[in-house]
């Protein structure tokens, strides 16, 4: 049913339709509406689940770890500092192959304190073994949760659904919330692989000495790589069952004959598509490659789609301090070494801490990369605010 609802409500409705057994969370802006809405759903008896308000995000992640190890389908949501506080547990969850689903309402990281959107939070744990999929809009944010549980429970890898804080979580859009029957058909009941059960005593989370550790990490790495196929399959199954395209590894827009290709992820792709249309009216041919699955990074597909493109520009809302762009590095890495050096791949960091990224900004960026290759730069930086002595 099509409903005009807030992004957080759409996610809460979607999560409830996935029938998690245990939900545990700690409030943090801009994730709060998601867990508030879920708490209401549970309080009204629309979902039979154990909803646990805990004392920190660290505890929330630990509770779902324990619950998942006991065989429950689990859910938590957080952002920014909360995600960082969870970090130790998140690595552990991935290492223990627990198929937990987490919504990250992407937000900047302190310091300075900022509650507004960028991708520095989820980027900081990109190497943890969590699948990370990014939503473009609220329909996709909702749909990705149905897919996330299916992907997680097929691969035994945890899945983080990333949606831009405020821009999506607090935006009202028409979203189709499917019927319970349809979701039940798509998402079968969770069948855990190994649980703590006195009937079958086993140890979970044993320590590994140097004879075993590397193999265990290798196996997770391979599982992450192989999960590309699962993400694709689940995406196709979803398209078939629900009649719309949400998620997958990548998406494109007017890519085919584009002279300039913008690579991006998250809600900014909406603005990028508008920019592309505006530039098209002026006779420019610009296309988009949207990354949905950031981890695993679909290197081969990225290469296939970009190998004939002369002018590529990656715009991202994250930054590796002292190094530069992160998505930009991954896109460059997608090209075989020999081609990489000749390739004109520009890289811009934009929108940190909730700075708006406008069509004007993006049009100016395209104009600039038409003239020169920009190894790395910031988009929309107000240099008047920066004193020479601080540099």
Partner 1 sequence: MMKTAVEFDKKNLLASGHRACGGCAQALACRMVLDAAGKNTIACVATGCLEVFSGPYPDPSWRIPFLHSLFENSAAVAAGVEVAYRALKKAPVNVLAMGGDGSTADIGFQCISGMFERGHNVLYVCYDNEAYMNTGVQRSSFTPFGAKTTTTPAGNRFHKKDLPQLAVVHGVPYVATATVDDYHDLQRKVKTALSIHGPKYLHVYAPCPLGWGHAGDMSIAISRLAKETCLFPVYEIKDGKLVSVVKIPVKKPVEEYLKVQGRFRHLFKKGVPTTEVELIQEIANQNIERFNL
Identify which of residues 207 and 384 has a Cβ nearer to partner 1 in the complex. Answer: 207
> Terminal CA-to-CA distance of the chain, rounded, Å?
54
Closest CA to 334 of 312, 366, 365, 362: 312
Helices 32-43, 7-17: inter-axial angle, 10-degree rounding: 50
DSSP single-letter state for residue 179: -
How far from 135 is each of 105, 261, 386, CA to CA, in Å? 10, 20, 33
**Which residues fall within 8 angstroms of residue 310, CB to CB, at 6 or more apart?**
259, 344
The answer to whether the beta carbons of residues 33 and 86 sit under 8 Å apart is: no
Closest distance to partner 1 from the beta carbon of 142 (Å): 23
Residue 109 and residue 125: Cα distance in Å, rounded? Answer: 12
Find the shortest distance in angstroms from Cβ 144 to partner 1: 24
36, 40, 50, 173: which one contacts partner 1 (CB under 8 A)? 50
Q: Which is nearer to partner 1, 16 or 67 (CB)?
A: 67
Tell me: does residue 42 bind partner 1 (CB under 8 A). Answer: no
Q: Could you say which of 3, 27, 40, 70 contacts partner 1 (CB under 8 A)? A: 70
Q: Which region among 66-74, 228-236, 312-320, 327-335 touches partner 1 (by CB under 8 A)?
A: 66-74
Verify binding: residue 67, partner 1, rule CB under 8 A: yes
Give the residue among 296, 314, 294, 312 at the shortest CA–CA distance from 379.
314
Binding segment toward partner 1, per CB under 8 A, in 51-59, 174-182, 239-247, 311-319? 51-59
For residue 280, state whether it binds partner 1 (rule: CB under 8 A): no
Phi and psi dihedrals of 312, rounded to 5? -115, 135
How wide is the angle at C-alpha 125 spanned by C-alphas 31 and 9, nearest 5°? 20
Total residues interacting with partner 1, rule: CB under 8 A: 41
What is the rounded CA–CA span in Å between residue 116 and residue 103? 16
Q: Which CB atom, from 54 or from 374, has the smaller least distance to partner 1?
A: 54
- Choices 89-97, 124-132, 134-142, 361-369 (CB under 8 A): range interacting with partner 1: 89-97
Tokens of 354: 């909730």
Q: x/- contact string, 172-211, with partner 1 (CB under 8 A)?
A: ------------------------xxx-xxxxxxxxxx--
Q: Which is nearer to partner 1, 60 or 362 (CB)?
A: 60
Q: How far is the CB of 110 from partner 1 (least distance, A)?
A: 20
Structure tokens at 223: 């599982």
Residue that the structure tokens 């759903």 belong to: 41
Q: Kindly state the tokens that stand for 252.
A: 């494109």
Q: Which token pair is 156? A: 């035994």
Span interacting with partner 1, options 30-38, 56-64, 129-137, 280-288, rule CB under 8 A? 56-64
Q: What angle do CA 148, 150, 152 make, to 5 degrees?
A: 65
Q: What residues from 225 to 254 belong to the interface with partner 1 (CB under 8 A)?
A: none
- Pick one of 12, 14, 47, 63: the residue that binds partner 1 (CB under 8 A): 63
For partner 1, give the closer residue by CB, 24 or 117.
24
- Binding partner 1 by CB under 8 A: which of 127, 174, 182, 212? 212
Nearest alpha-carbon partner for 78 in 37, 39, 125, 28: 28
Q: Does 52 bind partner 1 (CB under 8 A)?
A: yes
Q: Which of 12, 18, 25, 72 binds partner 1 (CB under 8 A)?
A: 72
- What is the contact surface with partner 1 in residues (CB under 8 A)? 21-22, 24, 49-50, 52, 54-56, 58-59, 62-72, 74, 88-89, 92, 96, 196-198, 200-209, 212
């Amino acid at each position: 049913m099509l409903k005009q609802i807030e992004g957080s409500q759409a996610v809460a409705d979607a999560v409830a339709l996935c029938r998690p057994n245990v939900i545990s969370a700690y409030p943090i802006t801009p994730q709060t509406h998601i867990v508030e809405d879920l708490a209401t759903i549970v309080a009204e008896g629309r979902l039979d689940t154990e909803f646990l308000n805990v004392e920190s995000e660290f505890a929330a992640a630990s509770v779902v770890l324990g619950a998942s190890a006991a065989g429950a389908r689990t859910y938590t949501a957080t952002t920014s500092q909360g995600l960082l506080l969870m970090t130790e547990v998140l690595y552990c969850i991935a290492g223990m192959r627990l198929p937990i689903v987490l919504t990250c309402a992407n937000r900047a990281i302190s310091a300075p304190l900022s509650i507004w959107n960028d991708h520095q939070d989820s980027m900081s744990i990109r190497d943890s073994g969590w699948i990370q999929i990014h939503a473009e809009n609220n329909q996709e944010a909702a749909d990705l949760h149905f897919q996330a549980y299916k992907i997680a429970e097929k691969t035994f890898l945890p899945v983080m659904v990333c949606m831009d804080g405020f821009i999506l979580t607090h935006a009202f859009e028409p979203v189709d919330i499917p019927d319970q029957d349809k979701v039940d058909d798509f998402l079968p009941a969770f069948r855990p692989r190994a649980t703590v059960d006195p009937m079958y005593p086993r140890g979970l989370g044993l320590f590994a000495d140097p004879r075993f550790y590397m193999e265990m990490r290798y196996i997770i790495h391979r599982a992450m790589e192989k999960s590309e196929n699962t993400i694709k399959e689940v995406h196709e199954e979803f398209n078939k069952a629900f009649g719309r395209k949400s998620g997958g590894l990548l998406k494109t827009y007017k890519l085919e004959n584009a002279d300039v290709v913008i690579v991006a992820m998250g809600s900014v792709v909406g603005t990028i598509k508008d920019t592309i249309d505006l530039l098209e009216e002026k006779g420019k041919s610009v296309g988009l490659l949207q990354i949905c699955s950031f981890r695993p990074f679909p290197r081969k597909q990225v290469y296939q789609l970009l190998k004939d493109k002369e002018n590529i520009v990656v715009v991202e809302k994250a930054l590796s301090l002292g190094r530069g762009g992160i998505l930009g590095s991954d896109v460059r890495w997608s090209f075989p070494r020999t081609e990489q050096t000749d390739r004109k791949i520009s890289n811009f960091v934009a929108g940190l801490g909730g700075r708006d990224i406008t069509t004007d900004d993006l049009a100016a960026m395209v104009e600039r990369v038409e003239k020169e290759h920009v190894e790395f730069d910031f988009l929309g930086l107000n240099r008047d605010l920066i004193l020479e002595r601080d540099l």
